[in-house]
């Protein structure tokens, strides 16, 4: 009669292996989430900066005002556009770049040309401008900004820290620069003033 020996893992070996897997996951998953969040924030703010730089360049090249307006605050037909200031959705809902012949911040399909349209950003992220650029920002033919201000792209926590948000400041010359972080870890503008909130940076 043949004797068979059992092969496999002991209960102690299994417990040690499961414990090691749990430790690796506990350390690794938060780090991956942070990396993903940082990537989404950086990509989102870079896309918006690219739109602003494009609008500024086109205003100089074409010799006309060019506006970047959040699409949630504008409703258009083939002949007219209606712009509002009461939209509860920020630039995260998408934006549109267009020539703005009468410099009113609202597209007129009969005289203005749409240059670019950007789709909405990733869900749970918000992108708002302060009161002067809440709905749109315009560039004049010399490249200066008709209405200048600051923008904040925030994740779902709505915290203005460097790990949960990215800030952007546009000065009177129309130049867009990234917001810095103060000693408290809060985003601040170029004059050293902390941003108020994600909804009103």
Is the pLDDT higher at 64 or at 200? Answer: 64
Assess contact for 99 and 66: CB atoms under 8 A. yes
**The residue to which tokens 């074409």 are assigned:** 62
Residue 183 has pLDDT above 90, yes or no: no
- Decide if 193 is inside a domain: no
Give the number of other CB atoms < 10 A from CB of residue 13: 10
- Decide if 199 is inside a domain: no
State how many domains the chain has: 1
pLDDT of 29 reads: 63
- Decide if 2 is inside a domain: no
164-180 average pLDDT score: 92
The range of the structural domain enclosing residue 65 comes to 12-188
- Decide if 4 is inside a domain: no
Inter-CA distances, 187 with 175, 180, 184, Å: 18, 6, 9
Is the pLDDT higher at 143 or at 30? Answer: 143
Interatomic CA distance for residues 91 and 134, integer angstroms? 9
- Can you give the CATH number for the domain in which 43 is found? 3.55.40.10
- Decide if 40 is inside a domain: yes
pLDDT band for position 95 (50/70/90)? very high
- Decide if 98 is inside a domain: yes
Model confidence, pTM: 0.82
């Amino acid at each position: 009669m043949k004797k068979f020996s059992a092969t496999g893992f002991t209960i102690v070996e299994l417990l040690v292996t499961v414990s090691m897997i749990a430790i690796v996951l506990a350390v690794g998953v938060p780090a991956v989430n942070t990396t993903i969040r940082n990537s989404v924030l950086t990509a989102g703010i870079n896309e918006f900066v690219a739109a602003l730089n494009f609008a500024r360049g086109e205003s100089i090249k074409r010799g006309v005002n060019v506006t970047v307006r959040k699409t949630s605050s504008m409703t258009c037909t083939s002949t007219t556009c209606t712009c509002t200031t009461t939209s509860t959705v920020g630039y995260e809902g998408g934006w549109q770049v267009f020539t703005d012949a009468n410099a009113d911040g609202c597209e007129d399909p009969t005289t203005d040309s749409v240059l670019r349209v950007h789709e909405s950003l990733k869900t749970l992220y918000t992108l708002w401008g302060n009161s002067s650029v809440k709905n749109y920002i315009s560039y004049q033919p010399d490249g200066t900004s008709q209405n200048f201000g600051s923008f904040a792209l925030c994740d779902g926590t709505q915290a203005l820290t460097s790990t949960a948000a990215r800030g952007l400041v546009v000065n009177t010359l129309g130049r867009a620069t990234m917001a810095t972080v103060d000693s408290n870890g809060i985003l601040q503008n170029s004059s050293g003033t902390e941003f108020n909130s994600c909804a009103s940076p």
